Structure 1
Amino acid sequence: MSTRAWSATDDGLLLTVRLTPRGGRDALDGTAILADGREVLKARVRAVPEDGAANRALAALLATELAVPRSALVLQSGATSRIKTFHITGDCAELAARLARTFGG
């Protein structure tokens, strides 16, 4: 059974993302189910995976798409992995509603 790509915390959301660097464009491409059953948000950025450039580009993309300041996002895990977990500070219900409207749920 899959779990959502996002889950509530006391002060926001945890969001699991599968990043494709050098993806030709900066975009969120919906959700996908990993082999272990977890759901992830698929993202691509033009930036290369060197010196944190792709992670910074992903954070900027997420901030724009979720209408939150860049400072509201913290990369919690996956700095050198394709699968990343971000903590997004903000109103949990509002953030989850934005994600659900855009990506279903």
Structure 2
Amino acid sequence: MPCLQARPDGSLLLSLHVQPGAARTELAGLHGDALKLRLAAPPIDGRANKAVVDFIAELLHLPKSAVVIRSGLASRTKKLLLTGIAENDVRSLLEQNRGSSNG
């Protein structure tokens, strides 16, 4: 899965391509080297960024503090820093939930 990179400090970088304003929030496969996330929240006043963090944290069973947007706050292309979870666990949860909705 090219969208996930392990870092030397044990954290992970997840590349996302976010499509805001979708009918519902769900993973939608790969978009190049990024995981595509359809997002129900609009890109207004940071709502989409908050929704990204909330969705990924819930999906990966992590506290919201363990999911940080490292780059792309004003872009559809985002890099999320994930801490406190093993790479294999992330890969497994993403595979299980690809195409599933949440909201």
TM-superposition CA deviations, 1:55-79 (whole Å, max 9, x none): 1001111111111111100100000
Q: TM-score, normalised by structure 2?
A: 0.82
**Which stretches of structure 1, 4 residues or longer, exceed 2 Å deviation after superposition?**
91-103
Deviation at 1:88, TM superposition (A): 0.5
**Percent of residue pairs identical:** 34
Match of 1:62 among 24, 36, 56: 56
**Matched residues, number:** 96
Shift of 1:12: 2.0
1:78 aligns with one of 59, 72, 76: 72
TM-score by length of 1: 0.81
Structure 2: gaps spanning 5 or more residues? 99-103
Taking the TM superposition and a 5 Å limit, the aligned residue runs for 1:15-34 are: 15-33=14-32
- Taking structure 1 as reference, are residues 100 and 12 closer, same or farther at Cα in structure 2, changes over 3 Å only? farther
Question: Could you tell me whether the CA contact under 8 Å between 1:18 and 1:84 is conserved in 2?
Answer: yes
Q: Which residue number corresponds to residue 5 of structure 1?
A: 3
CA shift, 1:30, in A, is: 1.5
Q: Secondary structure at the match of 1:11?
A: coil
In structure 2, the partner of 1:36 is none
- Alignment partners' CA distance in 2, 1:6 and 1:72: 15
Q: What's the secondary structure of 1:50's corresponding residue?
A: coil
* CA distance in 1: counterparts of 2:64 and 2:57, whole angstroms: 5
The one-letter amino acid paired with 1:16 is S
Alpha-carbon distance in structure 2 between the residues aligned to 1:61 and 1:18: 14
Distance 1:25 1:49 in 2: 14
Q: Distance in 1 between matches of 2:30 and 2:91?
A: 14
Cα distance in 2, alignment partners of residues 92 and 83 from structure 1:
23
Instruction: Decide whether the 8 Å contact of 2:15 with 2:80 is kept in 1.
Output: yes
